[in-house]
């Protein structure tokens, strides 16, 4: 199978230096309509993406659909954990890409690759992702950091965006591809981000730290005996 046209024959991987993140319409009201995954899971995955963007220094652009209405405000964790994120107010456009200010903000990053997540998946994620591909961007759509009203809607949307040239991906894969290696000074912060995606990972970390503590105590006792 050949690579999508917008990847120009290259393997579709995420180059941190050439990537911006778009977090679209992750609003408290819209979250209440999500049925293809637990709302708490969706929220945790969005939080993990915001953390990863900050750890990499990646540009983040956010926007909301009529936040003063029933769709509600953006969840506060996004800008709390990615304080460098730029918020773009829309003027009623359903497709964020139809808002000139939003497109200008994306272009201003100078990046050619976009990580996109949005609620609702079939609209807020799909529409701008397809539009961005049409404009020549390489687009990775984070399916489990988007959410929609049924599993069927998720599956149909996934088929549609893939056909358009968008690459589907999950949150853990995004984190791993951005992190690249555990041999880095902020490895513990990356580990904390993974616990958002799969909470049992925190138990693994705690077990490891306890084992390290016990080993250190044994070394101290052995040294004292010597």
Instruction: Kindly list the catalytic residues.
Output: 124
199: left (phi over 0), alpha (psi -120 to 50) or beta: alpha
Q: Are strands 113-118 and 86-89 parallel, antiparallel or unpaired?
A: unpaired
Burial level of 68, CB count in 10 A (0-12/13-18/19+)? Answer: exposed
Measure Cα distances from 1 to 9, 15, 158, 168, 170 in Å: 11, 22, 17, 16, 21
Closest CA to 77 of 116, 55, 49: 49
As a whole number of Å, the CA-based R_g of the chain is 20
């Amino acid at each position: 199978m050949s690579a999508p046209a917008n990847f120009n024959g290259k393997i579709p991987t995420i180059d941190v230096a050439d990537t911006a993140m778009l977090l679209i319409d992750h609003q408290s009201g819209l979250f209440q309509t999500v049925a293809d995954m637990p709302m708490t899971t969706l929220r945790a995955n969005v939080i993990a993406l915001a953390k990863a963007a900050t750890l990499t220094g990646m540009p983040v652009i956010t926007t909301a659909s009529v936040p003063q209405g029933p769709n509600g405000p953006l969840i506060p964790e996004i800008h709390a954990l990615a304080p460098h994120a730029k918020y773009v107010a829309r003027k009623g456009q359903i497709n964020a890409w139809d808002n000139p200010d939003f497109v200008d903000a994306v272009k201003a990053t100078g990046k050619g690759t976009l990580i996109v997540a949005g609620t609702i998946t079939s609209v807020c994620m799909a529409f701008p992702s397809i539009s961005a591909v049409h404009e020549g961007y390489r687009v990775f759509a984070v399916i489990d950091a988007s959410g929609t009203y049924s599993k069927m809607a998720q599956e149909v949307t996934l088929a549609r965006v893939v056909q358009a040239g968008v690459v589907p991906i999950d949150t853990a894969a995004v984190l791993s591809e951005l992190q690249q290696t555990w041999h880095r000074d902020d490895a513990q912060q990356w580990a904390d981000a993974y616990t958002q995606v799969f909470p049992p990972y925190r138990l693994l970390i705690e077990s490891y730290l306890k084992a390290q503590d016990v080993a250190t105590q044994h070394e101290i006792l052995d040294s004292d005996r010597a």
